[in-house]
Amino acid sequence: MAKRQLRAPSIAPFGIDTEEWLRKNTLPVVNALLRGKANNTFDLTLSPGESTTLLVSDLVTLDSVIELSPQTASAAEVVWWVEPLPGRAVIHHDVSEAADRTFGVVVHG
């Protein structure tokens, strides 16, 4: 069976070799993604004295899965749950005056 080679559609500016343009412009992005460098990660510190904290991002949808990873000892003790909404997520948590309850956040989907 013969191999079929798929070619990317021509998205390079007129007069520029498409393959060269794709290699030059997509490889750095793919390599950054492989190193975990994506635009869907955030640092979030919970609002002291409040029972909710708002994360605002166009990446958040009703179907998003939002992961929180504690970055401080205070954050590791927090009981929380997330309510994703279009363009934002409400992080529900216990009330504390601690100002160092910081999480790494990843938004999927």
User: Which tens digits make up the pLDDT trace of 18-71?
Assistant: 778 778 888 888 888 888 777 888 899 999 999 999 999 999 999 999 999 999
Over residues 74-84, the mean pLDDT reads 96
Structure tokens that stand for 25 in this block? 């412009």
- The distance from CA 35 to its chain's CA centroid, rounded to whole angstroms, is 14
* Separation of alpha carbons 51 and 39, rounded Å: 27
**Of 81 and 36, more confident:** 81
Query: What residues pair up with 42 in beta bridges, in sequence order?
Result: 105
Q: Where are the domains of the chain?
A: 41-108
